[in-house]
Structure 1
Amino acid sequence: MTDPQVALLMLGLFIFVVFLGFPIAFTLMAMGIGFGYYAYFEPSRMWRAFNRLDETAGWWDSTSLWIEGFFNNRVFDLFINQTYTVMANDVLTAVPLFLFMGYIVERANIVDRLFSTLNIASKNIPGSMGVAALVTCALFATATGIVGAVVTLMGLLALPAMLKARYDHSFATGIICAGGTLGILIPPSIMLIVYAAASGTSIVRLYSAALLPGLTLVGLYLIYIVGRSILQPSVAPKPTADEVPDVPFFKLTLMIVTSFLPLAILILAVLGSILFGLATPTEAAAIGALGGMVLAVAYRAMSWDRLRQSVYLTVRTTAMVCWLFVGSYTFSSVFSYLGGEHVISEFVRGLDLTPFQFLLLAQLIIFLLGWPLEWSEIIIIFVPIFLPLLDMFGIDPLFFGILVALNLQTSFLTPPMAMSAYYLKGIAPPEVRLTQIFKGVLPFVAMVFISMALMYTFPQIVFYLPQQFYGR
């Protein structure tokens, strides 16, 4: 077999092993080192160690020289260098800090206050409880960026209240699932940090580029919720005075000040310091982590056990992301060295696609990959395959990254592998069926596709803020 054929075998074998359920990070590292040993094998380097053997050498000396000869391969140097590169990456330093901020905020008892306040404030809007749930999801998802945590917590807080208010099961569950995924798109998004590290794109420009698409998607969700509530009142009945009591204006203002404003100020402080150049993403993440702890103390929700849990979850998730990067960098380096990247580039060039057709093909592949894989695996492993092709079609990596972030919303919402639906089903009342949740999320998947079509048609939605803040 030629080296390019070996590279394609390497890629195909990796996909096969992943579908068998093996841990992806360690599969990447094992296959990168295994195929890399073949790619970088130089007999002369091995025999230099073996030639030092003589008849008088003892068992220990012989074994040591055999081990030295085996490990005298450049793939081990590559693996060590890639590990150091990932651990020394300044962009990735922000990941554990933002994660810690999210886990602390999740445990600060802010969300239940926020939902109750917004529910009362929006009671005269059609589908008011759905609107309150979506806005709460959007704010909480923005602060945490952890889809499972947002969907689970909102399912415990908002779903029982919506079902008690006679909301349609599908409608209510669809709102929570869709709102819970917004954190991977709206800054400060951990997914965008990972994409920036994988693509070399400026995280500051990515954050500014993601703002308007994120708000566009939230706007489409709200239009759907309010519009369907007007056209089909039975799915979202108007709340009674017992379900949503009347609250005097000054008391409502105090509730907003104590529940909505603190979290909003924390998010704006973190995001504003990044966008206006007052702090690097890592410094802003540190501010956010400190602010999350201050909020937890202010709400009297800080305890040693909650702090310990937050630190543990942060370390576990950060380790997963970093080892995925190490495995991906090693795998992709060997894949490129064997000529696999060139084969894919030539294949795509031979298809004679227009830039628009290439974008559609790439987004379709990412959409399909979203069924069996997590967003982190798609961004770290498969998106880098497309990145070298962007120059060929004249596509800005910034624009491509925002489309990918929008597309990955569907990976949590599209049956049969809609992880948001499974998160919610795990804590939902028994009468809520999984098929009802699947039915409820499908209109929101349609909203994601509409938002992607808007980005294709009006690219300035993506480019306007980066150009205004930082020029071309």
Structure 2
Amino acid sequence: MTDPQIALLMLGLFIFVVLLGFPIAFTLVAMGLGFGYYAYYDPMRMQSLFDNRIFDLFVQNTFSVMSNDVLVAVPLFLFMGYVVERANIMNRLFFSFQLAARNLPGSMAVAALLTCAVFATATGIVGAVVTLMGMLAFPAMLEARYDKSFAAGVICAGGCLGILIPPSIMLIVYAAIAEISPLRLYAGALLPGFMLAGFYIVYVVTRAYFNPSLAPKPERDVVPIREVINELLVSFFPLAMLITAVLGAILLGLATPAEAAGVGAAGGLLLAALYRSLSWERLKEAVFLTAKTSAMVCWLFVGSWTFASVFSYLGGHDIIKDWFLALDIGTIGFLILAQTTIFLLGWPLEWTEIIIIFVPIFLPMLTTFGVDPLFFGMLVALNLQTSFLTPPMAMAAYYLKGVAPADVELMDIFRGIMPYLGIVIFSMVLLYNFPAIALWLPVYLFGPG
């Protein structure tokens, strides 16, 4: 076999092994070292079994990941998210949004989506948002006689907004891989993120208006406007001020993402203390989960950079690039084919594998096809919503099923999330036809890239 054929075998074997359930990070490391040993094998200079340049590459990649300034923001944003998650702020937030939206059709669903959108900006952790909202809002909607599929779709779709809305961990990872400014990436994601959340709310209100049986209007006493404002002041505005301070400092260039994340982590601790939710046990849980998730992300990077280096050295990137060029499909065809591939990969894989392994395959081709890496990143971020929402491996559905009542079947959840897949695809088409949705704010704040 030729080296490029070995590279394609390496890629196919990786997908097969991952589907068997092996840990992603260690699979990447093992395959990178194994195939790398073959790729860099030189019997003329070999002094011992371990005298192979792949081990030097592995050590160098490990050091590069641990000293990457962009990735410093990951554990800090994670800690901020886990602290806020454990401060019981979401309960207050959901209740206050319920009061504020009480006159809208599907008011509880709207409140759930608003809570998810706000919490997504504070955590960026999809599994946590879906699980918490599944325990908090989902039973409340079922008790209010909401349709099971309708309510499940709201929770799953809203919980996935953390992939897109800053300070998304995914955006930091993409910034490190694509070697572009995370500041510009965060600015570019704001409008698409809130646009998608807005489309979700419009869909929910419209369906509830034309089919009230899906979301019956709760019978509730008239709530004074003063009480609504008071609830919003207590639950929404402190968290909103923290988020605004963090994102504002980043977008205005007053702080790097790592510095702003540090302030956010301290602000999360302060909020938890003010709400009297800060305990030693909760703090230990937040620190443990932060260390666990950060270690996973870092080892994914180490493994993926080693894997990608060997894959490229064997000629894998070249053969894929030549194949795309041979198709003679132009920029539109390239974007459609690339996004379709990412969409299909979202069935068996999560966003981490897609971003770290497969997106780097397309990145070298962006210059050839004249595609802005930031614009491509926004399309990918929108598309990755589908990796959590597409059956049969829709992780958001499984997160919700894990905390849902026993009578809620997985097929009920799958039926509920299908309309939101259509909304995501519509948003991608809209973004492609109007790139300014993603590119206007970064250019306005930071000038041309």
Question: Partner of 2:178 in structure 1?
Answer: 199
Amino acid at match of 1:256: L
Question: Partner of 1:158 in structure 2?
Answer: 137
Are positions 1:327 and 2:331 aligned together?
A: no
Instruction: Pick one of 61, 66, 72 that aligns with 2:51.
Output: 72
Q: Secondary structure at the match of 1:416?
A: coil
Which consecutive unaligned segments of at least 5 residues does structure 2 have?
none
Question: Partner of 1:103 in structure 2?
Answer: 82
**Offset of residue 45 of structure 1:** 1.8
| Superposed CA offset, 1:313-341 (max 9, x none) | 01111111100100111111111111111
Question: Partner of 2:73 in structure 1?
Answer: 94
1:31 and 1:423 map into 2 onto residues whose CA distance is: 30
**Offset of residue 176 of structure 1:** 0.8
2:134 and 2:22 map into 1 onto residues whose CA distance is: 30
Amino acid at match of 2:286: S
Are positions 1:173 and 2:120 aligned together?
A: no
Are positions 1:225 and 2:204 aligned together?
A: yes
Amino acid at match of 2:290: T
Question: Partner of 2:8 in structure 1?
Answer: 8
**Offset of residue 271 of structure 1:** 0.5
Amino acid at match of 2:53: R
Q: Secondary structure at the match of 1:181?
A: helix
Amino acid at match of 1:181: C
Question: Partner of 2:31 in structure 1?
Answer: 31
Question: Partner of 1:370 in structure 2?
Answer: 346
1:99 and 1:377 map into 2 onto residues whose CA distance is: 19
Instruction: Pick one of 434, 437, 445 that aligns with 1:458.
Output: 434
Amino acid at match of 1:470: F
**Offset of residue 35 of structure 1:** 1.5
1:416 and 1:4 map into 2 onto residues whose CA distance is: 32
Which consecutive unaligned segments of at least 5 residues does structure 1 have?
50-68
Q: Secondary structure at the match of 2:45?
A: helix
| Superposed CA offset, 1:297-319 (max 9, x none) | 00100111101010110111111
**Offset of residue 415 of structure 1:** 1.3
2:328 and 2:371 map into 1 onto residues whose CA distance is: 15
Paired residues of 1:185 and 1:405 also in contact (CA < 8 A): yes
1:139 and 1:42 map into 2 onto residues whose CA distance is: 55
Are positions 1:426 and 2:402 aligned together?
A: yes
Fraction of identical pairs, as percent: 66
2:418 and 2:218 map into 1 onto residues whose CA distance is: 25
Structure 1 residues 52-451: aligned runs within 5 Å: 69-241=48-220, 245-451=221-427
Paired residues of 1:126 and 1:230 also in contact (CA < 8 A): yes
2:408 and 2:59 map into 1 onto residues whose CA distance is: 50
1:299 and 1:87 map into 2 onto residues whose CA distance is: 35
Q: Secondary structure at the match of 2:384?
A: helix
Between the two proteins, the alignment pairs up a number of residues equal to 448
Paired residues of 1:171 and 1:235 also in contact (CA < 8 A): yes
Paired residues of 1:115 and 1:132 also in contact (CA < 8 A): yes
Q: Secondary structure at the match of 1:237?
A: coil
Amino acid at match of 1:285: A
1:425 and 1:26 map into 2 onto residues whose CA distance is: 28
1:212 and 1:470 map into 2 onto residues whose CA distance is: 16
| Superposed CA offset, 1:354-384 (max 9, x none) | 1111111111111111111111111011100
1:232 and 1:189 map into 2 onto residues whose CA distance is: 34
Paired residues of 1:120 and 1:246 also in contact (CA < 8 A): no
2:322 and 2:66 map into 1 onto residues whose CA distance is: 33
**Offset of residue 44 of structure 1:** 2.3
**Offset of residue 468 of structure 1:** 0.6
- Indicate the structure (1 or 2) with the bigger Cα radius of gyration: 1
Question: Considering only aligned residues, what root-mean-square deviation do their CA atoms show, in Å?
Answer: 1.0
Question: Partner of 2:22 in structure 1?
Answer: 22
**Offset of residue 92 of structure 1:** 0.5
2:76 and 2:112 map into 1 onto residues whose CA distance is: 27
Q: Secondary structure at the match of 1:412?
A: helix
Q: Secondary structure at the match of 2:152?
A: helix
| Superposed CA offset, 1:94-152 (max 9, x none) | 00000000100000010001111110111111111111111001111221111111111
Paired residues of 1:86 and 1:325 also in contact (CA < 8 A): yes
**Offset of residue 250 of structure 1:** 2.2
Q: Secondary structure at the match of 2:44?
A: helix
Normalised to the residue count of structure 1, the TM-score between the two structures is 0.93
1:129 and 1:3 map into 2 onto residues whose CA distance is: 57
Question: Partner of 1:52 in structure 2?
Answer: none
2:6 and 2:97 map into 1 onto residues whose CA distance is: 58
Normalised to the residue count of structure 2, the TM-score between the two structures is 0.98
| Superposed CA offset, 1:215-259 (max 9, x none) | 110111011011111111111111102xxx433222222211110
Amino acid at match of 2:29: M
1:37 and 1:251 map into 2 onto residues whose CA distance is: 67
1:24 and 1:37 map into 2 onto residues whose CA distance is: 20
1:124 and 1:268 map into 2 onto residues whose CA distance is: 28
2:33 and 2:193 map into 1 onto residues whose CA distance is: 39
Amino acid at match of 1:425: K
| Superposed CA offset, 1:237-291 (max 9, x none) | 11102xxx43322222221111000111111111000000010000000011001
Amino acid at match of 1:8: L
1:420 and 1:4 map into 2 onto residues whose CA distance is: 36
